[in-house]
Chains A and B, each alone.
Chain A
Amino acid sequence: MTDKIEEKVALQTEDSRNQGRRAFLKGSAAVAGGVMFTQAANATGSAGFDAKKAVAPYAGKAELTDVLADNASRKTLGFGVRKYPYGMPSPFEKEVQRRTLEWLTPDSMASITMSPIHQLHGIITPNGLHFERFHGGVPTINPDDHRLVIHGLVERPLIFTMDDLKRFPSVSRIHFVECPANGALEWKGIQLNSVQWTHGMMSCVEYTGVRLSDLLKEAGIKPEGKWIIPEGADASGMARSLPLELAMDDCFIAYAQNGEALRREQGYPIRLVVPGCEANMWVKYLRRIMVHDVPMQHREETSKYTELMPDGTAQRFSWYMEANSVITYPSPDFKMQGPGKYYVRGLAWSGRGKVAHVDISIDGGRNWKEAHFTSPVLDKAWTRFEFEWDWDGSEAFLMSRVTDETGYVQPPMPQMRNLEGTNNVYHRTAMVTWRIHAWEDGKNGGLVENVQY
Chain B
Amino acid sequence: MFNTKKTIVAASIAALFTGSAFAMSGNSGSNTETGEKIDGKYAANYAEIIKNADGKYLDKAVIEAVLGADAAHGRDGLVGKLDPANPYSFEVDDSIDGGNHGNAQCKIPKAFTEVHESVAANYHNDSTFVARGFGTPIAEAALEKWDIVVDGDGKGLPDPSVGMTIEEGAKVYVQFCGMCHGEFGEGAKGYLPLAVEEDLVTSDFTDPAPMKAVGNYWPYAVTLFDYIRRTMPFWTPNAPYIGDAGYMGMTGYILQSNYIVMDDEGTELEDDTFFNSEVLMKMNKYMPNQGNFFCDHRPVIHNERCMTNCPDDQVGGNGSGDPTQYRQARKLPDGTPQYNVPQRMHEDKPGVGHAGM
Chain A interface residues (CB < 8 Å from chain B): 99, 101-106, 109-112, 135-136, 149-151, 156-160, 164-165, 167-168, 171, 181, 184-194, 196-197, 211, 213-214, 217-218, 221, 226-227, 229, 231, 235-237, 239, 243-246, 248-250, 275, 287-288, 290, 292, 294-299, 302-303, 306, 308-320, 322, 332-333, 352-354, 356-357, 359, 363-369, 379, 395, 397, 399, 401, 403-409, 411-412, 414-416, 419-420, 422-423, 425, 427, 433, 435, 437, 443-444, 447, 449-453
Residues on A with C-beta less than 8 A from B306 are 368
Provide the residues of chain A in CB contact with B200, threshold 8 Å.
308, 312, 314, 423
In the complex, number of A-B residue pairs with CB atoms less than 8 Å apart: 376
**B5 interface contact, C-beta 8 A:** yes
Cβ of B40 under 8 Å from chain A: no
> Are B123 and A213 within 8 A (Cβ)?
yes
Complex contact B222–A297 (CB within 8 A): yes
| A191 and B55 within 8 A (CB) | no
Enumerate chain B residues within 8 angstroms of A369, measured Cβ to Cβ: 307
- Most chain A Cβ neighbours within 10 Å, of B2, B190, B209: B2
Of A149, A156, A193, which is within 8 A of B344 by CB?
A: A193
How far is A197 from B341 in the complex, measured between Cα atoms in Å?
9
Q: A297-B103, A316-B295, A423-B202 are in contact. Are A379 and B3 (CB under 8 A)?
A: yes
Cα A324 to Cα B349 in complex, Å, equals 27
Q: Which of B123, B190, B344 contacts A192 (CB 8 A)?
A: B344
CB pair B212 A303 closer than 8 Å: yes
CB-CB nearest in chain A for B106: A317
Do the beta carbons of B146 and A149 come within 8 Å of each other? yes
Chain A residues with CB under 8 Å of B336's CB are 443-444
Check if B108 sits within 8 Å of A449, measured CB to CB: no
In this assembly, does B138 line the interface, its C-beta being within 8 Å of a C-beta of chain A?
yes
Residues of A within 8 A of B345 (CB): 101-102
Whether A237 touches B148, Cβ cut-off 8 Å, given contacts A136-B237, A248-B122, is yes
Contacts of B129-156 to chain A: CB distance below 8 A: 129, 131-132, 134-140, 142-143, 146, 148-153, 155
Chain B residue contacts of A427, Cβ below 8 A: 298
Asked whether B241 is an interface residue with its Cβ less than 8 Å from the other chain, the reply is no
**Bound-complex Cα distance A379 to B325 (A):** 37
**CB pair B357 A190 closer than 8 Å:** no
Closest beta carbon of chain B to A236's beta carbon, Å: 5
Bound Cα distance A12, B155 (Å):
80
Those 9 A-B pairs whose CB atoms lie nearest each other, nearest first: A364-B323, A407-B59, A106-B190, A407-B56, A364-B316, A297-B152, A250-B3, A103-B349, A451-B326
- Which residues on B sit within 8 Å (CB–CB) of A399? 316
Identify the B interface with A (CB < 8 A): 2-3, 5, 7, 10, 16, 53, 55-60, 62, 74-75, 90, 103-108, 112-113, 116, 118-119, 122-123, 126, 129, 131-132, 134-140, 142-143, 146, 148-153, 155, 180, 189-191, 199-202, 205-206, 209-210, 212, 214, 217-220, 222-224, 226-227, 230-231, 234, 237-238, 289, 292-310, 313-319, 321, 323-329, 336-341, 344-345, 349-350, 352-357
B316 contacts A217, CB within 8 Å?
no
Closest B residue by C-beta to A300: B227
Q: Check A297 against B329 for contact (C-beta < 8 Å).
A: no
Most buried by B among A229, A314, A364, A404: A364
Evaluate contact between A193 and B308: CB separation under 8 angstroms: no
Instruction: Indicate if the CB atoms of A164 and B135 lie closer than 8 Å.
Output: yes
Residues of B within 8 A of A447 (CB): 337, 339
Contacts of A397 in B (CB 8 A): 316, 323, 326
> Which residue from A103, A299, A365, A403 sits with its C-beta under 8 Å from B223?
A299
A318 to B329, CA, bound (A): 29
Q: Is the CB of B135 within 8 A of A188?
A: no
- Find out whether the CB atom of A193 lies under 8 angstroms from the CB atom of B329: yes
Contacts of A218 in B (CB 8 A): 131-132, 134-135
Task: Report which of B55, B137, B350 forms a contact with A157, defined as CB distance below 8 A.
Answer: B137
13 A–B contacts from the bound complex (CB under 8 Å): A109-B234, A164-B136, A196-B341, A237-B148, A296-B152, A310-B201, A363-B323, A366-B323, A414-B319, A419-B75, A419-B301, A451-B326, A453-B323
